[in-house]
Chains A and B, each alone.
Chain A
Amino acid sequence: MSSTPPVLEVRGISKHYGATVALRDVSFVLNAGEVCGLLGENGAGKSTLVKTLSGVEVPDSGALFLAGSEYRPRDRNDARRQGVATAFQELSLVSTLSVAVNLFLPDPAVNRAGLVAMRRLEQQAARILAAHGVSEIDSAALVGELTLGQRQRLEIVRAMFRRPRLLLLDEPTAALSDRDWLFDLVGNRLAEGAAILYISHKLDEIRRLCRRSVILRNGQKVLDRPVAEMSDDEIFRSMAGRSVVERFVAAPSAVRTDAQPALSASRLSGDGVEDISFTLMAGEILGVAGLEGQGQARLFRSLVGLYPLRSGRIEVAGCGRMVRSPRAARAAGVVLVPEERKTEGIFKDLTTIANVSLPAIDHASKLHFLNRRRERALVGEVIGDVDLPEHFLPLSIAALSGGNQQKAVLGRALMARARCLLLFDPTRGVDVGAKQSIYRMMRAFVGGGGAILFYSTELDELVHLCDRCLVLYGNRIVGELQGPALSQEQVLSLAAGHGLERAAVSGR
C-alpha cells in the first residue's frame, strides 16, 4: 500500500462562489481497491467536491494528485481520459438521444468518414448493458422514455463501463430500489483495483460498502475515520454539528376508524395502474412500497388527476364527485408532494415566502391586491410545523438546500389546507435534520386528523412511520402489511415479487 501512491490525493482544495465558501481546505486520500464514503448534509460541499474531481469545476486553491502525478482536469473529458468517471446525482443524460448514444457521449465511435454508426453503437451498448446486469433497457430507445430508475442505472453503467481508476458515485441509489445490483457492481470494480468515492445520505449503505468515510460540514472536512469505529450518533453529530439520531419515535397510531375514509380508491385501472383499491382513513399514514417502476408514480399522480385513468373511482371525504384535476383535488383537500422537487416542487424564481403562500395567495389579497402583511402572517402559521427557519422566507428558494426546499413544499401543502397528503419519497436528497422535521410534521399532521399516503425508497421509513403498508409489484397491489407483519424483510420479499401467495395471508 504505502509503496504505491494512492489513487487519489486531495490536498487542501478550496472553492468559492462569490461570497460563498463551498469547499475550505479539504484534504484526504483514496487508495486502490477502497471504497470511501463521503457524508455530509446538503450544502456541506459534497457535490462541489464531486464536480471538482470530475473536472466540471476548477478549485480556487489546493491540488489534486492521481496516482502520484498532479491532476488538473481541464474539463469532463480530460478527467475521463485520466480515468476518472462520475455518476452524477442530477442525472447527466440527454432525453432526446438514444440510450446507446448517451452511453458513449461525448465521443461516440465514428467510422472512417467521421460519421457515428448508430447500428454498431446500439449493439455495443446492448452488450455493455447486459454485461452490467441491465437487461430491461433497450439500447435504441430514447432516454426520455425510460423511468427514473432506469436512467439512474444507465448513469451508473455509463460511469462504470470505461473501467475508471477512480469512480465517483453521487447519491447513486436516490432513485434506485434494488441496491444489491449496485453493490455487486461496486464489488466488481473494487476487485479490479479501482478506487471509489461513494456519496450518500444513507448510513446503512455507507456501513455496508465503505471501510472508511470522510465527513464534510459547511465545506470543511470534519472527520475521516474507519466507519466501524464510529457510532451512528457520532457520525450524525459530526455531519449536522448537533446530535440527531435517525430515531423513529414510536408514536401511538392516530388512525380514526370511526370517521369515514379520507380517501378511498376502488378498482383504479389505467396505463401502468392495474386494478388498485385501498382506503386511507383519517389520521392514518398508509405506506406504499415497491421497487422502482412498479406503478407507484402513476398511482400517486392519478390520485390528483395528473394521470388519466381508464376506470375506477376515487372518493375523497366531504367531496362527492370524482377528482379529475390537481385543482379539484386541492379543493377537496388532497395535495401531492411530487417526486421531482426541482421541476414540480419549487417555483425556482420565487422567494421562499411566495412559494409557501401561493395556495392561499387569494386569501392574502383583497380584490386581487396583495396584502404582504397578511401573507406573512398566513405563512407564519405553517412554517413552524415544518421547522422552516424564518430568515429563509425572503430569500429566493433556489438559494435553499434540498432539505429546506422540501420543508417549504410541505409548508405549502399545509397552506393549501390539505386534509390528505400524498407524499412521494419526500425525504429523497434531504439531509438528516430535515428528515427529522419531515417525520415530525407527518406525525403532527395525522395527529390533527389528516391522512397521508406515503411512498418511500427507504424501507425503514415505511416500517417505522406507517400504520399499514401497501406493496406494489407489476403495477398492482400484491400485499398489505401491518402490525408485526410490517417488517423490512416482508416488504422486500413482496416487493421483489416472491410469495405473491403470502400476500393474501398478511392482507387482513
Chain B
Amino acid sequence: MSAALRRLGRLRPTGGAVVAVVIFLALYAIYAASEASAASVFGLTNLFNNTVVLAIASAGLTLVVLAGEFDLSPIGVIAIANVVMATTSVGTLGWFGALILVLLIGAAVGLLNGWLVASLRLQSLAVTIGTMIACEGVALLLLPAPGGAVNQAIVDALTGDVLEVVPVALAVIALVLLVWLVLARTRFGIAIYAVGTDAMAARLSGLSAERTKLLAFVLAGVAYAFAGFMLSCQTGSGDPRASDTLLLYMYASVAIGGTSLMGGRGGVFGTLFGAGILSVMQKMLFALGAASFYTSIFSGLIMLVAIFIGNASELLARVRRQRVA
C-alpha cells in the first residue's frame, strides 16, 4: 500500500489528477448513456477534436504554472500560429515548413516572456497581459480578417481517425502525455518542481531559477503554437480572433487537473483530463438537453467539485503518509 503510494509519489500526481480522471469517466459515461453516437468513431473523433486544442495549450500552461508563474499570452500565440498557418501552409513553405515556423514563433514569444519574467523579474501575471495584447496585434496585422486556407492534407489527416478506430486527435493528446512523462523524469522536469516550490531553496541547491523558468516559458510557447497548429487543422482556415475566449478555460483545465496555481505541485497528466472534462461536459449537457446556459454554470461547479475532492484526497493521502512515516 505505502509502496504503491510512493510509486505514485514519484509521479507526483496531486489528488486532483486522480479526481479529474474519475470525473471525466463519469461525465463520459452519462454522455454515452444519453447519446448513442458518443461511443462511435464519429462521436469520439468529434469529442477529441474539440478537446485537443485546449488540451495542448493547457499542457503548455501547466509547465509555467508548475514553475510558479502565470502566463496570459497563450491566446496571443495561438492566434499568431493560426493566421500564420492559414497564410503560409498552402504556399511554397508547405505544411511542414509552416509548422516549424509557428513552433519557432511560439518559442520566440516564450523566450520574450521568460526573459521579462525570469531575467528582469517582472510579475508574470501582469507582464503577460502586455505580451498577449501585442501578440493579438501581430495576428491582426498578419491577417486582418478571417480567411486564408490551411493545407488540406493536414486538415484531413489530423482531424480524421487512424484506420477507423483511433481519432488522430486522441493520438496527438497521447503523444503530448508521453512527452510530458519523459520531461517530468528529466533534470529539467525536476527543476521545474523545485523552482516552483521554493525558488530560494532551489537556488541554494544549485538550480538556476532563471534558466528553469526561461525554459518553461519557451516550451510553453512551443506548446501554444502547436495548439494553434491543431486549431488551424480544426478550422481549415485562419481567424485572428479564433482563440479569444480560450484563456479562462485553459486555467480551468489546469486547475481541474489538480495542478496548484501556487506552483510546484501537479502535472500535465491531470491537465489533459481537465481539458477533456470541459469538452465532454459540453457534449453531455447537450445530450441531456439542458438549456445552454447550464454549460457555463456547470463548468464553474465542476471546477469547484474537482478542487474540493482534490483537496480532500490530498489531505487523506498526507495523513496516511504521516502514519506510514
Contact = CB atoms under 8 A, between A and B. Distances in A.
A80 B189 CA distance: 22
Contacts of A141: 321, 325
Contacts of B245: none
Interface magnitude class on chain B: 20 to 34
Interface stretch (A16-24, A91-99, A347-355): A91-99
Given A102-B205, A105-B207, A94 B194 contact: yes
Given A91-B201, A97-B190, A105 B321 contact: no
B220 interface: no
Contact of A105 (B12, B206, B264): B206
A97 B325 contact: no
B187 A108 contact: yes
Contact of A145 (B200, B264, B265, B321): B321
A96 B187 contact: no
Given A98-B10, A106-B191, A75 B201 contact: no
Interface string B256-283: 0000000011000000000000000000
A107 interface: yes
Contacts of B197: 94-97
Contacts of B196: 96
B197 to A, nearest CB: 4
Nearest to A150: B325
Nearest to B181: A115
Interface string A102-128: 100111101001111010000000000
Contacts of B6: 140
Interface string B296-325: 000000000000000000000010011001
Interface string B1-37: 0000010011010000000000000000000000000
A97 B206 contact: no
Contacts of A92: 200-201, 203-205
B190 A101 contact: yes
Interface majority SS (helix, strand, loop, mixed), chain A: loop
A96 B206 contact: no
A10 interface: no
A415 B217 CA distance: 47
B157 to A, nearest CB: 29
A56 B204 contact: yes
Contacts of A108: 187, 190
Contacts of B39: none
B202 interface: yes
Interface string B236-260: 0000000000000000000000000
10 contacts: A56-B204, A88-B204, A90-B204, A91-B201, A92-B200, A97-B194, A106-B206, A110-B187, A141-B325, A145-B325
Interface of A: 54, 56, 75-77, 80, 86, 88, 90-98, 101-102, 105-108, 110, 113-116, 118, 138, 140-142, 145, 271
Given A92-B200, A92-B203, A107-B206, 14 more contacts: A56-B203, A90-B200, A94-B193, A95-B201, A97-B194, A105-B190, A105-B205, A105-B207, A108-B190, A110-B186, A115-B186, A116-B185, A116-B190, A141-B321
Interface of B: 6, 9-10, 12, 182, 185-187, 189-191, 193-194, 196-198, 200-208, 264-265, 318, 321-322, 325
For the complex of A and B, list the 6 residue pairs with the smallest distance between their C-beta atoms, beginning with the closest.
Answer: A92-B204, A76-B206, A106-B206, A105-B205, A115-B185, A94-B194
